[in-house]
Structure 1
Amino acid sequence: MTADLGALLLADGRLPTGGHAHSAGLEPALVGGLDAGQVPDYIDARLRTVGLVEASAAAAALRTALEEPARLDRVQDELLARTPSAPLRQASELLGRGLARLAWRLWPEHPAVVALHGLGRPPLRPIALGVVGAALGMSAAAVARASLYDDAQTVAAASLKLLPVDPADATSWLLGAASTIEAIVERAVATGPDELPALTAPMVELWSLDHHHSTRRIFVS
């Protein structure tokens, strides 16, 4: 029951981790020329690239947290090597710090939480997500699914503030991504810490650099 409730908890935008301040790159993408009608395609593209990498890292972090928590730094290093944009790394660290703080308040004696705080640097969001999932007793698949859902939902929620979008349409985008999310979950749980995919989304990275230097923005990323 704790694992099932934990999955719902991680999918809740009201979780105090600061996720509401992020748009998953939608804001700079729209400034860069993305059309409102292309948002579902943007969600799909993120899931197949950034989403797959981060979901795989979250699943790997969960398994490492349960088996060898002292080696969480290995998963962190592998993910850092696959995140070339400095602003995207910083955004992930902000979200990871929020999750790490929550974990420390709720499970301060859990070996994985202790290891997470022993990294000596802010954990990236997927690493912290995997540790929280381990503390909640979630499966690797559940954590990967939570990571992917959060990515898609972040875009959908941000669209309501950035575009004239009917909330029902934004919800339909999420439902439309369901089969893609499940297919990626299967791929994510089949990879180990040393086998993380290295897919990139060049335009997302470029837009993140532009957004970082923008003086007029609503979202952090």
Structure 2
Amino acid sequence: MSASEVVALMLADGRLPTGGHTQSGGLEPAVRAGLKVNQVAEYARDRLYTVTRVEAAVAVVARSNTDQLQAVEQAWAARMSSQVLRGVSRRQGRLLLRLAQRVWPEVGRFLPADGEVPRPIVLGVVAAVNGLSAEQVARVVAYEDVQTVVSASLKLLPVDPADAATWLAGLHDDIERLVKDVAPLTDPDTVPADGAPLIDLFAHQHATERMRLFHA
């Protein structure tokens, strides 16, 4: 196993101390709005083809453009219409950046020490300094998003853990389609602009909830 593969496994590990346990990928507000157990996998798939596809593309493009990260961030912001979700990504990015600068100090050449940088951009820079391929970083983004939703379902709904694992396995082909779609991208202008208005709406509703298990 190469060093880059080990880094990819680390980044996809939900136990990495970057606050992943505080996230449900929007599943909590979706459940509050009426989403059922048998709809969790479809919800995760819908994310893959919309918001996750955008984030994976941003990470891939950031990996190829560490000298143009401002342009990459502008492209990300233009495609992330929800102010709430932009804030969530920046907070997650800050936690990942804090860890990355300890584990992979070279990241500090490209990103500010305590900046609120969108998470996919931080992932792209980590990928660049560790020699991850575009496919590897896209796969990390896609897998981590699906895993976030599936893991959150165990706390929000009456889910058999074996069923949750089955959902995750069943989404492997969708993950690989996403990887194939975004891996060739290198220009910030080519980042897709796929949106999910209902997920945006759920996020805005969730931000004002007084009682919630997950941050987002």
The TM-score by the shorter chain falls in which range?
A: over 0.9
| SS of structure 1 residue aligned to 2:14 | coil
1:91 aligned partner: 88
Report whether the alignment pairs 1:156 with 2:157. no
Q: Which amino acid aligns with 1:12?
A: D
Contact 2:14 2:20 in 1 (8 A): yes
2:203 aligned partner: 208
Q: TM-score, normalised by structure 1?
A: 0.93
Report whether the alignment pairs 1:183 with 2:180. no
Contact 1:55 1:144 in 2 (8 A): yes
Contact 2:134 2:184 in 1 (8 A): no
Residue-by-residue CA offset, 1:153-208 (whole Å, 9 max, x unaligned): 00000000001101111111111111111011011112232110001001000000
Q: Which amino acid aligns with 2:152?
A: A
| SS of structure 1 residue aligned to 2:121 | helix
- CA distance in 1 between partners of 2:109 and 2:95 (Å): 15
Contact 1:99 1:132 in 2 (8 A): no
Match of 2:166 among 172, 185, 202: 172
- CA distance in 2 between partners of 1:190 and 1:138 (Å): 14
Q: Which amino acid aligns with 1:180?
A: D
Match of 2:132 among 138, 160, 163: 138
Contact 1:59 1:130 in 2 (8 A): yes
The size of the alignment, in residue pairs, is 214
- CA distance in 1 between partners of 2:96 and 2:125 (Å): 9
Residue-by-residue CA offset, 1:51-103 (whole Å, 9 max, x unaligned): 110100011111112xxx2x111111110111111111111111101111112
1:125 aligned partner: 119
Match of 1:82 among 67, 79, 84: 79
Unpaired runs of 5+ residues, structure 2, are none
- CA distance in 2 between partners of 1:38 and 1:135 (Å): 38
- CA distance in 1 between partners of 2:192 and 2:200 (Å): 17
Contact 2:50 2:195 in 1 (8 A): yes
- CA distance in 2 between partners of 1:6 and 1:79 (Å): 24
Unpaired runs of 5+ residues, structure 1, are none
- CA distance in 1 between partners of 2:7 and 2:121 (Å): 16
- CA distance in 1 between partners of 2:129 and 2:39 (Å): 38
Give the % identical residues. Answer: 46
Shift of 1:121: 4.5
Contact 2:25 2:145 in 1 (8 A): yes
Contact 2:94 2:115 in 1 (8 A): no
- CA distance in 1 between partners of 2:94 and 2:132 (Å): 20
Contact 1:56 1:188 in 2 (8 A): yes
- CA distance in 1 between partners of 2:206 and 2:91 (Å): 16
